[in-house]
Structure 1
Amino acid sequence: MNKRYIFIVSFVTIMTFSALYAPQPLLPIFSNEFSVTEDKSSLLITITLIPLAIAPLFYGYILEKFSAKKLLLVATGLLAFSELIIYFASDFSLILLARLFQGLFIPAILTALMTYISLISSLDSVQRIMSYYIASTIMGGFFGRFIAGLISSIFGWRYVFLFLSMSLIFSSVLIFKLKKDEKVKVNKINLSVFKDVLSKKVFLYYYFSIFCVFFVFAALLNALPFRMKEISTNIGEFKTGVMYSGYMLGIVASLNSTKIVKIFKGSVRNAALAGATLYLVSLLILSIESSLIFFIGMFFFCGGMFTIHSLVSGFLNKLADKHKGVVNGLYVSFYYLGGSIGSFLPILIYRHYGWYVFLITLGCLILLAKFFIKRC
């Protein structure tokens, strides 16, 4: 894959993830403007992640027979249109509905992107290219939250979604310039393909581990804007968006994933376990009631999470010698299934039992992730 295609894939990925996570720092604003509880405003994230957990299985199946580029074009255009709906919406239920449909469009884009990378990249370069992709997902997650806080604080929250719509339309134009993906050797696809992939323990245990990892990540990032209000009532949406700056360390971890593996003598398993340990330690830092310490702790938190994510996604793509669309679809499904549950259930724990019980719950999930990684 040449530099031009890498840029296009990266830009589309960044804007897709920006669309996914932009509402997060704005959750307290939605609570106030539409007079809904914190739990209900959190559904703006949860309701998008739920389809993300299921739809990739369908898209992974479809991509065994159809062009990834065509799927990218259609899904990106529909995502841009859904952002306009939110821009004009005057009812919270309509915004929730638009976010639900976004949960169908976004996994189509992500699964198609991952499959496109694996199809047009050589076996020797797929790990490196996938690291660029993961870095772009991280940048998108940060950029979406940061730009949402910035635009909202200056122009109002609605203009966040107008900006996203225009950016996604531009993404569609760029996708036209991508090289047509090579025709995949078509095998007869049936449900036994999923069983075949899941029957391999290394795939199954890594899928379980990434479920736990993103459960924790989604939980803490959804709780973050409310925790900031708890620490200081003077923290607005822009400062809340800045709190997600820890994402930048995730980019460093992703782009250096191959170097990280070399440090652990080529063992992806041991490198992932080290990332999980850092992930766990970060919760201790985040337990301190200080916005400055919290800001620092987010770098450790994001660094641990994205070390695991970049290593596992690249490793599974390297292992997959067939049915790459299904392998990637299952990975995205387990990832977002954990996120959809984590973005809501732990918020209830936080609301009823407080921040420290919330962190202990997340710590238990990280330990469970380490258990699965050790069995790989």
Structure 2
Amino acid sequence: MAESPPPYSAMTGIRTGTPEARRVSLALFAAGFSTFALLYHVQPLLPLLADAFHVAPAEAALALSLATGFLSVSLLLSGALADIFGRKPVMVASLAISALLTLVTAIIPSWHGLLLARALFGVTLAGLPAVAMAYLGEEMHPAALDRAMGLYVAGSAMGGMAGRLVTGVAVDFLPWQAATVGAGLLGLAASFAVWRSLPVSAGWVRRPSRPGLMLRALAAPLADGRLRLLFIQGFLLMGAFITIFNYMGFRLLLPPFDLPQSVVALIFSAYLLGMGSSSSIGRLTALWGRPRTMAAAVLVMGLGIALTLPDSLYAVVPGIGLMTFGFFGAHSVASGWVSALAPTGAKAQSSSLYLFGYYMGSSLVGVAGGVVWAVLGWGGLVAVVGAMLVLSLTAIRLLARKG
């Protein structure tokens, strides 16, 4: 069923401070929060899953990497679905079905069954992230876009923190399955909030479901060299960020740290800094411009990763904080940049391609990082992700030249 137009002009867009802007902020904050909580609540469980199913750390990481890998590929189709059925219906259905699949993973007894459920989860979750970015690009006034995108990313940061932190602490007192059930119920509640609060689309235009049109809409963003560089940025930044978090938990459980699981989970409270970074980055972007703001965020991220090298919590803890602050700032700028540059009629596809790179970095680098850590140690892992950040800075310089 087509969406009915809301009481504001699609030509001007939703402005900051209006009732519609508040509804969008509430709904997409809830959507970002639950998406990342559902996706990443397994990250602090990786050591427990390795023990429970008798698998190596790199294999345990598949519980996250399979989800992000299937998510990244499925994102390429989610834009087409949203063009046919509308932005809001696809987002609501995606979130509700993903929450139900999360509940299913709590009762699956086999390792391969759990991996299959997580892979299917990645497919269904794809209907939310790219479509949310496209929705903001179409509905928000250009002057309000960076702020709105920052609030959405802030919800993602808070959800990532809550999913990891609450789960990591809870499993010291409850079975990991109980924490998974909690994440699933949260996702169902968020899908209801999005259904009730999010204004229907004014900027969306239904497109026919012809494969040729879908392929042309997907190819259009790839013709822009600036967008191609931003898609690469997603791969580099997320790959570096998620790899450090994937294996930091394992590292802190081992000598010389020997921390309990509930204390290790506290490192995810660094996501509060990510939330602050992404929600305020719009103001810095207005002052400095996107290239300078993004480069500064990547440099902060690199400094934080370097601080994780010593075997000292006095260095590791602030290092994680700086890395998280820088990553979410850079991701927020890149997300807004993609929405601003996306061709008319291909906004959802542009967001899908950016997030394809983003989650493919999480999947591929996230697994490969376990091999690097096993062979070269933590110093080798830091060297690899540091090289990825150097490539990111190079891409930013090219973006600045292209204007």
Partner of 1:49: 68
Partner of 1:229: 253
| 2:334 equivalent to 1:315 | no
Per-residue CA deviations over 1:199-226 (Å, capped at 9, x if unaligned) read 2111111211221111101111111111
Q: Counterparts of 1:121 and 1:133 in 2: how far apart (Å)? A: 13
Q: Counterparts of 1:85 and 1:185 in 2: how far apart (Å)? A: 35
Partner of 1:31: 50
| 2:317 equivalent to 1:295 | yes
Partner of 1:135: 154
Contact 2:131 2:351 in 1 (8 A): no
Contact 1:228 1:291 in 2 (8 A): no
Shift in Å at residue 329 of structure 1? 0.8
Contact 1:278 1:300 in 2 (8 A): yes
Give the partner amino acid of 1:34: F
| 2:374 equivalent to 1:342 | no
Partner of 1:204: 228
Partner of 1:275: 297
Shift in Å at residue 187 of structure 1? 5.6
Partner of 2:201: 181
Q: Counterparts of 1:70 and 1:261 in 2: how far apart (Å)? A: 32
Contact 1:134 1:310 in 2 (8 A): yes
Contact 1:245 1:298 in 2 (8 A): no
| 2:278 equivalent to 1:254 | yes
Stretch of structure 1 that moved more, 67-76 or 342-351: 67-76
Per-residue CA deviations over 1:120-159 (Å, capped at 9, x if unaligned) read 3222212211110011111111111001012211222111
Contact 1:208 1:334 in 2 (8 A): yes
Give the partner amino acid of 1:76: L
Shift in Å at residue 197 of structure 1? 1.1
Stretch of structure 1 that moved more, 124-133 or 231-240: 231-240
Shift in Å at residue 233 of structure 1? 5.9
Contact 1:128 1:258 in 2 (8 A): yes
Give the partner amino acid of 1:123: P
Give the partner amino acid of 1:241: A
Contact 2:373 2:381 in 1 (8 A): yes
Change in Cα spacing, 1:67 to 1:291, as seen in structure 2 (3 Å) is: same
Contact 2:87 2:204 in 1 (8 A): no
Partner of 2:238: 214
Paired-residue identity, %: 20
Structure 2 stretches lacking a partner, 5+ long:
1-19
Shift in Å at residue 65 of structure 1? 2.6
TM-score, reference length from structure 2 = 0.89
Q: Counterparts of 1:187 and 1:145 in 2: how far apart (Å)? A: 38
Contact 2:307 2:315 in 1 (8 A): yes
Stretch of structure 1 that moved more, 1-10 or 80-89: 1-10
Shift in Å at residue 100 of structure 1? 0.6
Structure-to-structure mapping, 1:158-177, within 5 angstroms: 158-177=177-196
4+ runs of 1 displaced by more than 6 Å?
none
Contact 2:253 2:261 in 1 (8 A): no
TM-score, reference length from structure 1 = 0.95
Q: 1:355 aligns with which of 378, 387, 392?
A: 378
Contact 1:65 1:184 in 2 (8 A): no
Shift in Å at residue 298 of structure 1? 0.6
Structure 1 stretches lacking a partner, 5+ long:
none
| 2:79 equivalent to 1:60 | yes
Give SS of 1:49's match.
Answer: helix
Q: Counterparts of 2:160 and 2:205 in 1: how far apart (Å)? A: 34
| 2:104 equivalent to 1:80 | no
Shift in Å at residue 342 of structure 1? 1.3
Contact 1:272 1:308 in 2 (8 A): yes
Give SS of 1:345's match.
Answer: helix
Give SS of 2:85's match.
Answer: coil
| 2:113 equivalent to 1:89 | no
Shift in Å at residue 321 of structure 1? 4.7
